[in-house]
Amino acid sequence: MRHINIILTIIALTIATTVYGQGLTADEAYNHSRSTVIEHNNSATTQEWRHDIRIGVSTPGLLSIFFIGDTKSEDFSTLRPSASTALASARYYRTPTYYFPGATLEYAQRLKSWLLVGAKTSFAMTWNSVRHVVTDEILYRDNSYAIGLIINVRFDWLRRDIVRLYSSIGGGLAVRISFHDGIIVPMYDATYFGVALGRSVYGFAEIGGGISGSLRAGLGVRF
């Protein structure tokens, strides 16, 4: 990059000499050549990357909790009393439910200095199991998986050398697969406020809503 700048400076000085020979003063020639170099450097900075890939983790939001938690799992202790449920309650029990809040993977292509369009996928899951009271043998595992597939549009409304502030909105589909059923529904995802710190490799943090959760953070790379 330094060699390129040196070459550009030599070219600019050559232009300045030519222009000066055409009747401009030395100061005018110098300002003209300096503007040419600055314009080129700014253009190179603006065009230095077009692709953006990022991976992150998130905490669940109300929508994502409802979506992945809305399973039809049997709870032996709350079913209407009957001979079969009483027998099941005496023989089996359900372990605690654990929750993996979410992971996201996103690709975006820059169309303008302030506009990026791409796709995002998210993943979250819950898991527990139903076991025999005496032997602790697993009757079945009651896992639930939620996958979001979103087309995303991001707006960089503050752009600095190492700091970018942005918001985004997207829509697509969400899929939930569980032991008992599977559904596909329309879904949205939004970033109300996001900040990215870094150049080619950077970190980011977001406050948002939708299938990707409420608080997100991760790492990204631009090229």
Which range is least confidently modeled, 34-38, 67-71, 126-130? Answer: 34-38
pLDDT tens-digit series, residues 74-128: 444 444 555 555 555 677 888 888 888 889 999 999 999 999 999 999 998 888 8
User: Per-residue pLDDT averaged across 38-58, rounded?
Assistant: 72
**pLDDT at position 82:** 56
Q: How far is the C-alpha of 176 from the C-alpha of 67, rounded, in Å?
A: 8
Helices (H), the chain: 2-21, 26-46, 62-69, 83-91
**pLDDT at position 37:** 47
**pLDDT at position 72:** 44
Q: Is the pLDDT of residue 42 over 50?
A: no
**pLDDT at position 198:** 96
Compute φ and ψ for 154, nearest 5 degrees: -115, 140
Q: Is the pLDDT of residue 160 over 80?
A: yes
Q: 């879904």: which residue's tokens?
A: 187
* DSSP codes joined into one string, 26-83: HHHHHHHHHHHHHHHHHHHHHTS--EEEEEEEEE--HHHHHHHH------TTTSPP-H
Q: 């199991």: which residue's tokens?
A: 129
The vertex-76 CA angle with 73 and 77, nearest 5°, equals 120
Q: 């990022």: which residue's tokens?
A: 54
Mean per-residue pLDDT of the chain:
79
Domain ranges (residues) in the chain? 2-45, 49-222
Q: Is the pLDDT of residue 130 over 60?
A: yes
Q: Is 136 exposed, middle or buried (0-12, 13-18, 19+ CB in 10 A)?
A: exposed
**pLDDT at position 126:** 87
**Domain 49-222: CATH class, spelled out:** mainly beta
Q: Is the pLDDT of residue 5 over 60?
A: no
